[in-house]
Chain A
Amino acid sequence: MRAIKILERILYAIPIILGVAVVVFVFVRLTPGDPVDIMMGQGGAISSGEIEQLRAEFHLDEPITNQLWYFLRDAARGDLGYSYILKQPVTVIIADRLPATIELAAGALFLALLIAFPIGIISAVRQNSILDRLSMSFAFLGISMPGFWLGIVLILIFAVALRWLPVQGRLDPQITLQQITGFYVVDSIITANGPALWSSIRHLLLPSITLGAAVAAIVARVLRSSMLEVLRSDYVQLARAKGASESLVVVKHALRNALIPTVTVVGLQVGVLLGGNMIIETVFGWPGLGRLVVDAIFNRDFPLIQGAVMVYALTYILANLVVDVLYTYLNPRIAL
């Protein structure tokens, strides 16, 4: 039953993706700047014939409706076109970069939850204690600090001054790692490559903290306030009246209910983690999708922009689907 509903939801996503595709396609072409001009600017003296030839090659000389049709037709077959600049299939480029972005997002999410959960729970249980006030002040800081600033500060402290952690990249250059999934941590575990695992985790640490700080702050605050509300509820009082210990009351009866609003927020943050990391990828020289998109936008590399935005939309839809499915497990009052 649940599997059928999930399949249904996946099918519902198709028109959304189609809509995203059309909107992105149109808006990319509405932005001022001609991709061929930009390419030529790099290439030097080129005849107008060659320009026309390039335009024809990219179908840029045809009406926009035709171009849209080609794009959708190819996309349905899993072909997102060729990058104007990189001269490679967009799918190949994205497949090459996406694991780095996902790995960073996963690391950031993991660290964020690792920090946010104890803080959120303890702050609620010991409301108005020094610990509560202190952690909520930190949470406020975490939300207000811009990512690039925090990233630079962390690099200055932990990489430059203390030399504990690397400044940039995903792996020490002298370490070789056989790539299977593209997730370095996973690959080093699969290939039982200890040094690579150590190195990739060390590289992951600072960018994950930078990216995850705001998420940790938001999740901690949401969890704290939902815990506070739940701890005042009648069913928590009943659990105590049954003779449950305070830790059981908090962890089982209260947390299970406080998770419901928290999961929604975490789900939204996953989108932010995947799509909002362009600056952090730049600061840490992280070879992910974010930097690629920024470059693609500057170069008016239409197919690459389209492909990347489609991937963002897809991951966002996927994250929402996961949240919705998780929701039905957390909250029996809600069905898919």
Chain B
Amino acid sequence: MAEPLLELRNLTTVFPMRRGAVNAVSGVNLRVQPGEILGIVGESGCGKSSVLLSILRLIRQPGHIAAGNIFFKGRDLRRLPQKKMRAIRGNEISMIFQDPLSTLNPVFPVGEQIREAMRLHGIANASPLPWPLAGRRSHEKQRVLDVMAEVGIPAPEARYRAYPHEFSGGMQQRALIAIALVCEPTLLLADEPTTALDVTIQAQIMEVMRRVNREHGAGIILVTHNLGLAAEFCDNIAVMYAGRIVERGPAQQVVDNPQHPYTRGLLACLPQISRQRSRIDPIPGEVPDLAGLPPGCAFIPRCSLARDACNSVDLRLRSLQANQYARCILYEDGVRYTVEEFS
């Protein structure tokens, strides 16, 4: 197997809170191959966004990465000095945030915000003429206009000087994608990129992302609470619950043949248009408080299959069929082989 683009080993991110330490991410192992689209699926507060912020080392204080490694192209990002980390952010790894309006800086024109990402990394010096002749500025600007057109912002020249509030939600998200793309990253972290948008716009945005993946070969981690979206868009899916990955596998396999009761629950929550009056089965209960989580499975209170043994066993991700793993007591006995493949 080729060297993975990104490999997380035992990633653990902790937020010290007054009521106790919260492991937003605990012992996560993941791999993304170059050009792969990986979906991380789970409810709000399951730690999926924290995974992305951990990769960029942008976890807000006092939160911090407590353990694990983040290998990107063979280098451990956790051990990188700040300056080298900055050279990677927005350049080799960029991130698309969830809420476009609050993520664009309200006081700068959109074009300038896209351009800044490029300027920070000294991109677009590709002009054949030396600086005073070629006009670095116009060259940079041309690249910005190209990217704006690429992500589907019509009339980029006219919108270059527009402010974020003058854009619609869909256009704002396109602008955010343009910021992320302008340096041609090899890894794109997308944190619920379509959640704040209308369904029709959602489809357009996902189309833009897919094109980025195909044409630039960028690997993508798509964080979403929408299992349907992930199934349609991703190569592989990791389902997270309470800071842990509870199931992982190829997208189609996970959706067609879910192994973990939580994944099954998520699937049952998806409304389907084709079937008439199909029942939606909500998962009972709520996401648990991550502070002072008891040992054993965190899903017990909401699981219909829970039994006494669930409380005591230290569950591991175990393989059931090719490339598909689940963390559940159901697969603790009589399994073929243990996983935690990276450890």
Using CB atoms and an 8 Å cutoff, list the residues of chain A in contact with chain B: 232-235, 237-245, 253, 256-257, 260, 330-333
Query: Could you say which of A238, A256, A332 contacts B163, with CB atoms under 8 Å apart?
Result: A332
- Interface residue from A235, A244, A245, A256 paired with B103 (Cβ < 8 Å): A235
Docked complex Cα distance between A235 and B179 (Å) = 12
Chain A CB within 10 Å — which of B60, B87, B88, B89 has the most? B89
Structural contact, A238 and B107, CB atoms closer than 8 A: no
CB-nearest residue of chain B to A240: B58
Q: Which B residues lie within 8 Å of A253 (CB)? A: 105
Cβ of A241 and Cβ of B105 under 8 Å apart? no
In the complex the two chains form, is B90's CB within 8 Å of A243's CB?
A: yes
Residue pair A238, B120 in contact (C-beta under 8 Å): no
A171–B179 Cα distance when bound, in Å, is: 57
- In the assembled complex, the Cα of A333 lies from the Cα of B99 at a distance in Å of 18
Known interface pairs A332-B165, A333-B163, A333-B165; A233-B102 also in contact (CB < 8 Å): yes
7 A–B contacts, CB within 8 A, in A order: A234-B99, A235-B102, A238-B95, A238-B97, A238-B176, A241-B95, A242-B89
Can you name the residue of chain A whose Cβ is closest to the Cβ of B182?
A: A242
Q: With CB as the reference atom, state the residue of chain B lying closest to A236.
A: B105
- Taken together as a complex, chains A and B put the C-alpha atoms of A332 and B166 apart, in Å, by 10
Q: Name the residue among B87, B99, B104, B117 with the largest chain A CB count within 10 angstroms.
A: B117
Q: Which of A232, A239, A242 has the most C-beta atoms of chain B within 10 angstroms of its own C-beta?
A: A242
State the interface size on chain B (CB cutoff 8 A).
29
The answer to whether A237 and B97 touch across the interface, beta carbons within 8 angstroms, is yes
Cα of A232 to Cα of B86 in the assembled complex, Å: 19
Which 5 A-B residue pairs are closest in the complex by CB-CB distance? A242-B90, A243-B90, A243-B89, A235-B105, A234-B103
Are A257 and B105 in touch, CB under 8 angstroms?
yes
Residues in chain A near residue B121, CB distance under 8 A: 243
B106 within 8 A of A: yes
A219 to B117, alpha carbons, bound, how many Å? 32
Let me know if A235 and B106 touch, CB within 8 A. Answer: yes
Query: What is the minimal beta-carbon distance from B320 to any residue of chain A, in angstroms?
Result: 37
B90: which A residues are within 8 A, CB to CB?
241-244
Asked if residues A243 and B103 are in contact (CB atoms below 8 Å), the reply is no
Q: Determine the chain B residues whose CB is within 8 A of the CB of A257 once the complex forms.
A: 105-107
Most chain A CB within 10 A, of B56, B87, B109, B176, is at: B56
CB distance from A336 to the nearest CB of B (A): 16
Write out the residue numbers on chain A whose beta carbons fall within 8 Å of the beta carbon of B109: 332
Q: Which residues of the other chain, B, contact A244 by a CB distance below 8 angstroms?
A: 86, 90, 116, 120
